[in-house]
Chains A and B, each alone.
Chain A
Amino acid sequence: VSGRRGWKSWRDGGNLEGSRRRSHAGVTMIENLVPRMTQICGQDGVVTDPAELRTYECDGLTSHRVAPALVVLPRTAEQVAAVVRECAAANIPFVARGSGTGLSGGALPHAEGVLIVTSRMRRIIAIDPVSQRAIVEPGVTNLAVSTAARPFGYFYAPDPSSQVVCSVGGNVAENSGGAHCLKHGFTVHHVMGLQIVTPQGGLTWLGDGTGAAPGYDLTGAFTGSEGTLGIVTKIIVKLSRLPEMVSCLLAGFRTTGEGGNAVSAIIGAGIVPAAIEMMDALAVEAAEAAVACHYPQGAGAVLIVELDGPAADVKRDTAAVRELCQRAGATEIREAEDPAERAVIWTGRKSAFAAMGRISPAYIVQDGVVPRSALGAVLDKIAQLSAETGIRVANVFHAGDGNLHPLVLYDDSSPTATEAAETLSGAILDLCISHGGSITGEHGVGVDKSRYMPKMFGDDDLDTMQLLRCAFDPAGLCNPGKVFPTPRLCGEVPGAHRGPHPLVAAGLAEQF
């Protein structure tokens, strides 16, 4: 996707808060912070060069770009805490960033703020296979957790498609899903404890790794809060036993409707596959062009069903799924016999987003959810919208849980086409909401969708959610402007948070 709003140059963010953050002498507060940040993170842990800062101006949502005023790359939790304390004392906003693969602009920097990048915090601190737990730092990649657990017979279940590069810290912020969350659940189901830096700069643990620590489930509430409640510095994840057997079927159908019927039949039979993915004809065409995945020719829809678990059950369920697909009108069914064949089946699906570049200059990745039973109706309506507007929409989706990823294709050299694509993309979200679904299943709200939140939630709902924000971040410095369309005034900020304790400011004590 190419940028269409253009990046904003250093410090010209133009927000209202900007002027407030400049001192009387005209020197920005940020510049005053640099020596202290350098003290905390080291010379190589602070980025001030405008050209270098621009490399952080967006995450995976490239249509929104803002260069941060300052980037820091701490190596330890204590350094993150110290950085945040400096920001809090100077009333400067801060944004955390992992690998920068997010698709909703959750890590979009603040023009007058500090971007705290966790990519240097990459230790896998402990693996306890008997307890089925690992403790990792936020910069560890998702896949690295599974790789480290594999020798013990375990894996880390959430598997967003960016798992090779995306960070566990980012996964926690976004409550990331993935193809296999149909059976195995989302990040929140696999996070058992978090060490966080609070927006005041305190270092504390939420949960203890048992999943039954006394008190409110702040681990659960924090997960998926999109970096607005604090910064994760350690994560206790649950490890899952590697299944005895994995099987994978690929079935071609004439239409997405037939494919959808097969999905309903599988779920209706009481089978819970690890993943059920669907691609429509246009998505298959793009994948074919990009990676020659050799999916059934001329298929109107391709279904990928993966099952895992004890061998006896997987064999029986695979046979049942095959039968159900046949009954739903499958034109062709292939079954992977080994991991290599399984990888071949997944190649097309995994390349689907990137493959759009083969058939369109630009595209918008949408992330709506509908009840599974409404899939057919919603897909028909999307096809109708596409026909009416003349804008092509390729559909790739996690069919098992009704999570649609319509890819709206357009030519970004034309402003009219860009606007029309955005309008259609929004109409698809309206469609999801009207069917009782959600505006985002796994990509998050970020900056991209905060304007849609009032369509899904009322003022009281949003206000109530923000009570949690006020409890954690009364000053509103932690990733401001994300998730909620309108920030809530938190009332009186507790006195303790108005300025740092003299000892804290002097770097002699930690504030808890």
Chain B
Amino acid sequence: MPTDPVLKALAAACPTAREAAAGDSVAGVAPRYAASPASVREASALLRAAAAHDLALAVRGGGSKLGWGAPPARCDLAVDTLRLNQVLEHAAGDLVVRVQAGVSMRHLADVLADTGQQLALDVPPGVAGEGPGPAGAGPGPAGAAGAGTSADGSIAGNATVGGTLATGVAGPRRLRYGTPRDLVIGVTVVRADGTVARSGGKVVKNVAGYDLGKLFAGSYGTLGLIAEAVFRLHPLPAGTAYVTAEYPDTESTGKAVAAAAGSELAPSAVEISRPGRAAPLRTGVLLEGDPQGVAERAELMRGLLGPGAVTHDGAPPWWGWPGQTGTLVRIAYWAAGLPHVLAAVDAAAAAAGLDPAVTGSAAGVIYASLAAECDPAAVAAFVTALRSAFARGEDGGRPASAQVPDGPPALASAVVLYAPPDVTGQLDLWGPVPSLGLMRAVKDQFDPGHRMAPGRFAGGI
């Protein structure tokens, strides 16, 4: 029986509560306690106990993205969701699944594949060895251990459903299927004070009440603990094909990806990749569907991409997420601005003496990745230069009709998803945030004590 009264209270709420160990730190911040609730009820009791003792907490899943975002300003308790590991309901006929947050994306993919279905999200690869598994004794849930990716890099090793939703990540196929916020149709959350609340439901079409799933998607655990989620599913495609080509410069790349993304061939993804400034730009298009139809479309797509285009059955090696080391900057932009965004990246990188690899979706989200060895000051200078270019409106390439004084203040953003500690220390990872005042008001309502992952999110939330 623990003598620490706080731990005693936590353990009364959630038997796996314990003193934190070395592996429990959250983005470099070591908590005093760790717990792994096994039910929504336990999670609720745990958060209520944490509230009673004014503990700040961070929620984690498999830990594959634990290093994302800013380190928490305060973290007394690490709560992992790995014991919330049940696929509660898979209504195959309705293309809907209800899962607990701690189910790994890989396990979920396996379950859904049995009926030819999928949760159509490409999750970044996990990091081998990161994450201790559930706090306390007992084996981890099936599929939660280990890292690595499938052939097309689409399924992360240890990423969980909850972590995927909380970070709002999506890979190449965001072009067709969107991001977690587009696929989540219901959530059960535990608020900072322990209140359990539900929004949405388990039917795809539903407009009853506010859609808290959208609000919690990408909220980095700053509004509450996501305990369960219901997702809309898609059939697994019977056939896939990748068509790739290389271009010497950003202009020709811009034209090719615009032609591909704007074609009637319904691509599921249009990706670009360039390992360094001097290298040619690789472009790849994913086509999914009926095998024969895919073959026909691939042939037409090859024609669109030009003489050097090649069709492959599998993903090219550079497809998908860059490896998870060093610094990763997410650049979101209006798709027409691609050539200029690439030019802005090049200019900012040249000025900082860096040469980032660039990978991502021509649909408007690309990633610049920098090796862990890069000079932290140079990385910070790169991101800052990029942001000032975007603030000046240098995300051009847009047609004159879209350059309107009435539009949003910026049409592009640069967010540092993760970076080594000496970079995170000298840079606002999130950059300027639209409507920050409203976001702070939302945070104040959901977490008035600012105990849920404080400081981890945009605008210091």
Contact = CB atoms under 8 A, between A and B. Distances in A.
B94 A129 contact: no
A220 B334 contact: no
A464 B191 contact: yes
A373 B215 CA distance: 29
A438 B408 contact: no
B195 to A, nearest CB: 5
Nearest to B441: A471
Contacts of B364: 131, 210-212
Given A128-B398, A198-B438, A133 B334 contact: yes
B198 A458 contact: yes
Contact of B203 (A130, A153, A436): A436
A372 interface: yes
B181 interface: yes
Contacts of A220: 181, 211, 214-215, 217
Interface in A456-474: 456-458, 460-465, 467-472
B439 A401 contact: no
Given A236-B408, A371-B202, A401-B204, A465 B442 contact: no
Contact of A215 (B181, B198, B459): B459
A398 B234 CA distance: 18
Contact of B408 (A127, A175, A207, A469): A207
A131 B205 contact: no
A458 B199 CA distance: 10
B399 A130 contact: yes
B413 A437 contact: no
Interface in A316-346: 316-317
Contacts of A224: 207, 210-211
Contact of A439 (B208, B210, B406): B208
Interface in A181-222: 181, 185-186, 188-189, 193, 195, 198, 204-218, 220-221
B336 A131 contact: yes
A44 B441 CA distance: 37
Contact of B214 (A208, A215, A221, A272): A221
Interface residues of B, number: 96
Given A210-B332, A225-B210, A181 B430 contact: no
B5 interface: no
A372 B445 contact: no
B151 interface: no
Contact of B413 (A214, A317, A443, A456): A214
A234 B212 contact: no
A370 interface: yes
A70 B332 CA distance: 43
B91 A208 contact: no
Given A131-B402, A313-B293, A437-B201, A217 B209 contact: no
Contact of A310 (B196, B204, B206, B266): B266
Contacts of B333: 210
Nearest to B434: A205
Contacts of B181: 217, 220
B458 A214 contact: yes
Contacts of B197: 458, 460-461, 463-465
B289 interface: yes
Interface string B385-411: 000000000000011011110111111
Nearest to B254: A130
Nearest to B395: A210
Given A205-B434, A270-B235, A465-B209, A310 B264 contact: yes
A126 interface: yes
B316 interface: no
B54 interface: no
A369 B207 CA distance: 10
A224 to B, nearest CB: 5
Interface residues of A, number: 98
B365 interface: yes
Nearest to A186: B205
Contacts of A472: 438, 441
A131 B206 contact: no
B290 interface: yes
B196 A175 contact: no
A460 B206 CA distance: 19
Given A211-B179, A371-B202, A272 B235 contact: yes
A209 B363 CA distance: 12
B430 A441 contact: no
B438 A218 contact: yes
Nearest to B415: A214
B93 interface: yes
Contacts of A441: 203, 205-207
A166 B189 CA distance: 35
Interface string A271-293: 11000000000000000000000
Nearest to A206: B435
Interface in B433-457: 433-439, 441-442, 444-446, 457
Contacts of A100: none
Interface string A480-506: 000100000000000000000000000
B60 interface: no
A208 to B, nearest CB: 5
Contacts of A153: 262
A247 to B, nearest CB: 14
A302 to B, nearest CB: 21
Contact of B217 (A125, A217, A236, A272): A217
B297 A310 contact: yes
Nearest to B364: A210
A300 interface: no
Given A211-B179, A221-B211, A402 B297 contact: no
Nearest to B213: A220
A437 B94 CA distance: 12
B39 to A, nearest CB: 17
Interface in B245-297: 258, 261-266, 289-290, 292-293, 296-297
A444 B206 CA distance: 9
A440 interface: yes
Interface in A212-261: 212-218, 220-221, 223-225, 234, 236, 241-244
27 contacts: A126-B403, A131-B336, A131-B337, A131-B398, A177-B207, A185-B182, A188-B214, A193-B408, A204-B435, A210-B411, A211-B179, A213-B332, A216-B219, A218-B439, A221-B211, A244-B265, A369-B203, A398-B205, A402-B203, A402-B204, A438-B203, A442-B205, A445-B208, A453-B209, A460-B195, A465-B212, A468-B210
The 6 lowest CB-CB distance pairs between A and B, nearest first, are A220-B214, A464-B197, A270-B235, A212-B332, A130-B336, A244-B264
Given A216-B218, A440-B208, A462-B209, 5 more contacts: A216-B439, A243-B266, A267-B93, A312-B297, A443-B207
